[in-house]
Chain A
Amino acid sequence: MVTPDQMQRYVTHTAELLGLRLSAEEYRDVVDHLDLLSRFADTVGESDAEPALRFDP
């Protein structure tokens, strides 16, 4: 689980690294949105299958 403090620091540093300028409102919204995605990532969990990067049915 990612803590709120960890998430805020991650967004601040990674946005800067990628050259994204976020307004205060955008920053809050992005933190919330990424928090939701982190919960999705927790739901997905770990797997030892090969990634399906090039997907052929």
Chain B
Amino acid sequence: MSRSSVRGHACSLAQSIRRAEAAAETVVETTLAAIAERDPVLNAFTDVYETSVEDARAVDKTVRGHGDPGPLAGVPFAVKNLFAVSGSPLRAGSLIEAAKPVPTEDAAMVASLRGAGAVLVGATNMDEYAHGFTTDNSHHGVTRNPHDPGRIAGGSSGGSAAAVADGLIPVAMGSDTNGSIRVPASLCGVYGLKPTFGRLSRAGSVLFATSLDHVGPLTTSIADLEQVFDVVDGPDRRDPVSVSPPPDGMTVTCGGDDLRIAVVGGHFRQVVDGQAKLVIDQIAAALRLKGEVELPESDRACAAASVITAAEAGQRHLAALRTQAAAYDPKVRVGLQAGALVPAAWYLAAQRFRRRYQQRVQGLFEHVDVLLTATTPCAAPAVGQRTMNVDGESLLVGMSLGLLTQPWALAGVPALSIPVVTDGPLPIGVQMIAAPFKEANLFAVGRRLEKLGAVRKPPEERWL
């Protein structure tokens, strides 16, 4: 796989620690101090692990002993609090989950990153059970956007996105059912990858809607994204939807520079405001793209994803809704109760449509390698804002921030949000989509955009 010429924060840091030019212990201590200083404003973390200093010392000891501390040696990272961390409460933003016995094993993603030498410093805030796009949690409070604390970070992986965007950590993990990695990545101005469905293991994470749930990383560069993806990629028998990538799973189609890229029109051009339209035009111009491709029925894809999510999440929570309804965040509870009542006829019709839409999306990749849309209809709304105006239409914030991300989750294809240069202070992302298992094509276009200077400057590193 060809590597980015722009060195990422995590990659640089790991290299310094591996060469004993920096001490992991110092990095982690500095990170914990930065979190203590900044988190009262952001509320990105629900748990901070002071014991991470011991993990950092172990990395330094390996370096001193001339052992291999791993490709992410000493890199501080955090996970959305729906990933199991051995010996710490598993919350999923919920009081019900937090009251269950503490996990005795790490989730697959946590174990892989720790195995590569990265040091877990905390768990991040989220919408209860990943039900939402705002990270406004009634138990743990709202996570605020580092670019404007009066605005939301987006969700449901909002704590992970805010922590990376503020320079507190270079890497965080999130989950994405309808856009929950890509939406906060866009609103906070970081990279967020939803991989091919089943490519990264969900073992040890609290699921929401099992036929749509993905897990993936958030970073501040393509180089870091590639490095983390390398570390966590691979099949896992413990996740029933896990799939093995084909042998050419990390090969870029046509060598990278010759990739066929197209902007998607129709629905994806209609539910966006002026800033989102502008960034798409800007990136299309930077890549010298001409024309658009159409993907009919994408509004129906959003509707189908909403029905499937509601039904699967409602059924998953039915037993707890009978006995512990009062323990839920009220706005989440109603969504789950309604989802539990969804008739099988609606659910199966949505799944039938999904198959057809998936075939239609895969058909597009016979003619193009990478598709391009805005990631969100607009930049970050204000905290507590209920509606947003998009192209003259008033849309509900909680329902509509995922209108551009839902269709790709339904299709199961990989999608990456990249933070692009904007005129205003608030970031917004563009979303690139590739054929199943062609994450490498997304990385290749991301590298091109970095070289062209079209992406947002990464945040100041607070761990130095």
List the A side residues contacting B351 at CB < 8 Å: 51-53
Contact of A33 among B303, B338, B352 (CB under 8 A): B338
- Assess whether A20 is in contact with B321, with CB atoms less than 8 Å apart: yes
Within A36-57, which residues are at the interface with B (CB < 8 Å)? 37-41, 43-57
List the B side residues contacting A18 at CB < 8 Å: 318, 322, 340-341
- Assess whether A44 is in contact with B437, with CB atoms less than 8 Å apart: no
- Give the docked Cα–Cα distance between A38 and B342 (Å): 8
Given contacts A37-B310, A45-B353, A51-B348, contact A57 B211 (CB under 8 A): no
Given contacts A38-B346, A43-B299, A47-B356, contact A30 B307 (CB under 8 A): no
Looking at chain B's contact residues, is the secondary structure mostly helix, strand, loop, or mixed?
helix
- Assess whether A15 is in contact with B211, with CB atoms less than 8 Å apart: no
- Assess whether B304 is in contact with A50, with CB atoms less than 8 Å apart: no
Contact of A44 among B321, B333, B349 (CB under 8 A): B349
List the B side residues contacting A10 at CB < 8 Å: 341
The digit string for A10-36, where 1 denotes a CB below 8 A from any CB of B, is: 110011001111100010011001100
In the assembled complex, the CB of A18 is this many whole angstroms from the nearest CB of chain B, namely 6
- Assess whether A37 is in contact with B346, with CB atoms less than 8 Å apart: yes
List the B side residues contacting A43 at CB < 8 Å: 299-300, 303
Q: What is the total number of residues of chain B having a CB less than 8 Å from a CB of chain A?
A: 43
Q: Which residue of B lies closest to A50 (CB)?
A: B355
In the assembled complex, the CB of B364 is this many whole angstroms from the nearest CB of chain A, namely 14
Within B301-328, which residues are at the interface with A (CB < 8 Å)? 303-304, 306-307, 310, 318, 321-322, 325
- Assess whether A56 is in contact with B198, with CB atoms less than 8 Å apart: yes
- Assess whether B211 is in contact with A45, with CB atoms less than 8 Å apart: no
In the assembled complex, the CB of A55 is this many whole angstroms from the nearest CB of chain B, namely 6
Q: Which residue of A lies closest to B318 (CB)?
A: A18
- Give the docked Cα–Cα distance between A21 and B337 (Å): 10
9 nearest interchain CB pairs? A57-B436, A33-B338, A51-B351, A40-B303, A41-B346, A43-B303, A49-B355, A47-B352, A52-B355
List the A side residues contacting B437 at CB < 8 Å: 57
- Assess whether A56 is in contact with B341, with CB atoms less than 8 Å apart: no
Task: List 17 extra interface pairs beyond A30-B338, A37-B338, CB under 8 A.
Answer: A18-B340, A29-B338, A30-B334, A30-B341, A41-B346, A43-B299, A44-B300, A44-B346, A44-B349, A44-B350, A48-B352, A49-B352, A51-B348, A51-B354, A51-B355, A56-B243, A57-B413
- Assess whether B341 is in contact with A11, with CB atoms less than 8 Å apart: yes
Within B190-207, which residues are at the interface with A (CB < 8 Å)? 196-198
Given contacts A14-B341, A20-B337, A53-B211, contact A44 B412 (CB under 8 A): no
Most chain A Cβ neighbours within 10 Å, of B346, B352, B358? B352
In the complex, B256 has a CB within 8 A of chain A: no
In the assembled complex, the CB of B258 is this many whole angstroms from the nearest CB of chain A, namely 24
List the B side residues contacting A45 at CB < 8 Å: 300, 349, 353
In the assembled complex, the CB of B439 is this many whole angstroms from the nearest CB of chain A, namely 12
Contact of B334 among A19, A26, A39, A41 (CB under 8 A): A26
Q: Can you list 8 residue pairs at the A/B interface with Cβ under 8 Å?
A: A10-B341, A30-B338, A37-B306, A43-B300, A44-B300, A47-B355, A56-B198, A57-B413
- Give the docked Cα–Cα distance between A15 and B348 (Å): 20
- Give the docked Cα–Cα distance between A44 and B357 (Å): 11
